Amino acid sequence: MKEKERVVFIDFEFTMPDRNSRRKGFYPEIIEAGVVLTERGQIAEQFSTFVVPVKFPALTERCKSFLNISQEQVDSGISLQELAGRFNNIQGNWPCCIVTWGNMDMKVLRHNCQQASIPFPLSGREIDLSMEYKRFFGDQNQTGLWKAVQEYGREGTGKHHRALDDALTTYHIYKLVEKDKRYLQKPEPTTIGDRVDFAKLFNKFA
């Protein structure tokens, strides 16, 4: 990682339609954001916030039950415009690497910004850590976030499907995977001079 590069770990929770729902024009909207900013591998800032959806502001019963989020919590959240502003502040002028578990978070953020005519607030390399994990371990299927951390013999942080807890869990898996990558990197091949102490050898036969 570059000296001043920042790595941002992001997790969102989205609105969900009811089962068999036929809401015309429905699309998922961000209702909770969890963000962890690291600098040189250490947490520099973190925040979580509820976000008010624009297109379908009333949560479905399925959404409230699955995410354990109330309508009141979401209604008290910030706007998508304010969330974009917070991302702008985090990004600053330094290079930024964005890490998520799966590709939905960035897809939904882009689509939500597009629908609200808000410029996309992040720039830089985007990493889908679930695909990195899949390639690294040779899994045929993508592994869920909390299953992945349990496969490392650890437990996730806090509660699954809470945005900040999932962002922190993603950060911890990222560190574990990066450590394993370094461990498996082949060292530089040794030369015969590294393997044999010629001074001792010559003394032996002198």
Residue 112 contacts residue 30 (beta carbons within 8 Å):
yes
Catalytic residue among 61, 161, 178, 188: 161
32 is catalytic: no
CA distances from 84 to 118, 119, 121 (A): 8, 8, 5
CA distance 87 to 139: 33
CA distance 135 to 137: 6
Contacts of 72 (CB under 8 A, 6+ apart): none
CA distances from 163 to 105, 130, 190 (A): 11, 16, 47
Catalytic residue among 13, 32, 72, 82: 13
5 is catalytic: no
Residue 16 contacts residue 66 (beta carbons within 8 Å):
yes
In one-letter notation, the amino acid at residue 191 is: T
Q: Is 127 helix (H, G, I), strand (E, B) or coil?
A: strand
Which residues does residue 33 pair with via DSSP β-bridges, in sequence order? 12, 49
Measured over the CA atoms of residue 91, residue 82, residue 158 and residue 140, the dihedral's sign is negative
CA distance 193 to 66: 63
> Which residues does the annotation mark as catalytic?
13, 161
